[in-house]
Structure 1
Amino acid sequence: MRLANWYFLLFIPLIIYIFIIKKNKTTLKFSSVKLLKSSGLKKTYKHKISKYMICLSLIILVVALSRPQLTSQPDTIQEKGIDIAMVLDVSGSMESVDFKPNRLEVAKKTIEDFVEERPSDRLALVIFAGTAYTRIPLTLDHNIVKQSLEEITTESVNDNGTAIGMAISVGLNRLKKSDSQSKVMILVTDGENNAGAIKPNTASDLAEELGIKIYTIGVGTDETIYPEVDIFGQTRYKRYEGGLDEELLKGIAEKTGGKYYRARDPQAMSKIFSDINELEKTKFDRDDFVQYKELAFDLIKVALILLLLGIFLDRYFYIQIP
């Protein structure tokens, strides 16, 4: 039991003083009460019952204002799931329109659909271009992950380039302290490593030591189509061949026990999620779940009944004889 607003209880002594300690004034004023007494009416204290009922009702209302709550013991919730770090390339080439509307938007939508399918998994979101940083650490709050995904653009990381080694390292930092027995990283990129102080092979070696499986997805067709607006407001397209280092992505996946996928269309990206669903799920605990049962509404009902009954008895039923 706890009181959320305990300070309302300070009004109780004032109520008791007004209704019980302080002398009540005579409710019926007569120049002489002999006439009432001669009619057979005798002095009675039954009328005080109504005063006590009104007083009690006000005390109960004050207790209700203090919000008494029944608390249960913290429940340990065991859920099955795996810890997944989603590592997304947001470099400028992800604006290529070989996917409609572009590679980045398709990747974001596919990841968002995947998040909805994994209600028991803890998810982290890492984005990278010329450097990498954690957008969302491991969490079960999938709404905040989806909201963050919607806000990501190619301008979310200022440094130009594609730092695959740095991206993997940041993802490993999100997963290495996890207690989950199944830890997975999903790396989505359309480029080759050309930035960052950490080499992809070094990062993948560390992932292998930590037992973290990396699934790599190479996004895009063989041609990058980058839109540019000229000085007359017309959109022109620049086309580049290649740009994706498939051998690197295959090596990372094989070394860590994952798989490499080439996503030439949005449907290919969903295949990796089907494979992840087949992974053995492990248990992790959350012991921060405490239930509170509010008692205020029940107390208010009782208080109102007593108050109405007390007013009725005081005004219409009992006659006070001094």
Structure 2
Amino acid sequence: MKMLINVAETVVADALRGMAAAHPELTVDVENRVIVRRDAPVAGKVALVSGGGSGHEPLHGGFVGPGMLAAACPGEVFTSPVPDQMLRAAAAVDSGAGVLFVVKNYTGDVLNFDMAAELAEEEGIQVAKVLVDDDVAVRDSTFTAGRRGTGATLFVHKIAGAAADEGRPLEQVREIGHRVVERSGSFGVALSACSTPAKGSPTFDLPPGELELGVGIHGEPGRERRPMMTSREIADYAVDSVLGDLRPRGPVLLLVNGMGATPLLELYGFHAEVQRVLAERGVVTARVLVGNYVTSLDMAGASVTLCEADEEMLRLWDAPVRTPALRWGV
């Protein structure tokens, strides 16, 4: 596989150096692998900290800034960051109002963030956690006990981040983040496998002419493999899978997310089909985001995330945000 890298061993550090040069509004500690908004800590405000393996960009570092995260911890490719990173991030952004860890439900992430929370509390930093487990495709998988955390992570970052910016106390910020997770569901489809820099070849076998329904963001197996389907057929399957679990009774936030190698031409066409299915099922879309936000390196495919949003959640979604990957209202 051809990749725009120097050597696999430095790919994360090289990306962080490039991010630092592109975004002076961030403080990027390349050696310790921590990305922090430059004005942190913000007095009197709860600070959101998230992170996970690299390879899912712009998640998480691309969402650091006013209205979303105070800090992010990038691990090696598809590998959890370590507790020391999370502790450094928490210490760098805590203003005394507490820190909320937003954690995707993968075993390594959960264990390391829990350990970091214990270490932070020993240093007098109050910590709460929101666990994101929105993937409806499978109950248990290669890397998880329970559902995987995927696209709803972005919704938690944005909505809980806006609540923190309003100056709400830690428990209220945690509660609204948890509410977002409870009301969210996601389903992903892979048209091709991804290739990690270390391996240099596809991480799993997906024969030509087949797709994986319900794939995870690391290429974990989904529900089944089928011969290639049309965008219309994939939208029917993916949306019905989410609706069968979520059963929303009100308007929804919609994320149509690219897995990394799917062009916007295809994503917008897929979005049209997703909107068709939602309309046929009587589901009203309140807000929409289309693009590559929670990716899997060079995987071709897409995921659909729905969140049943009440008026408060919509107001927080619409609040100003200024990050490298998400920006409006400013």
TM-score, normalized by length of structure 2? Answer: 0.28
> Rg bigger for which structure?
1
Please state which structure has a larger fraction of its residues in helix: 1
TM-score, normalized by length of structure 1? Answer: 0.29
Which structure has more RCO (C-alpha within 8 Å, separation ≥ 6)?
A: 1
